[in-house]
């Protein structure tokens, strides 16, 4: 499952379950500070889907992956 798919699934959850996901996220260890927020990842995902350029889509996808994992 990709980061985009995970984010999409989280946005479909009821608010109480989304809050549980946020609580879980807060408890995860933070080794790197360059992780992107869910909102930033969602914006990037929208740009990727709207793009018609496969090279741009691949670059955005790579950025989403790095932002999700904090790499």
pLDDT score for 31: 62
- Using CA atoms, how far residue 47 sits from 9, 35, 37, 68, in Å, is 18, 18, 16, 16
Alpha-carbon distance of 49 to 44, in angstroms, equals 9
pLDDT score for 70: 78
Q: pTM for this structure?
A: 0.53
Report, in angstroms and rounded to the nearest whole number, the Rg of the chain calculated over CA atoms.
Answer: 13
Helices (H), strands (E): how many in the chain?
Answer: 4, 0
pLDDT tens for each residue of 12-69 = 999 899 889 888 888 877 665 678 889 999 999 999 999 998 888 998 999 999 888 8
pLDDT score for 32: 56
């Amino acid at each position: 499952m990709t980061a985009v798919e995970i984010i999409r699934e989280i946005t479909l959850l009821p608010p109480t379950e989304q809050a549980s996901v946020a609580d879980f996220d807060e408890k995860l260890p933070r080794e790197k500070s360059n992780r992107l927020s869910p909102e930033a990842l969602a914006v990037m995902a929208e740009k990727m889907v709207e793009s018609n350029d496969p090279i741009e889509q691949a670059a955005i996808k790579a950025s989403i992956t790095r932002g999700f994992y904090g790499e």
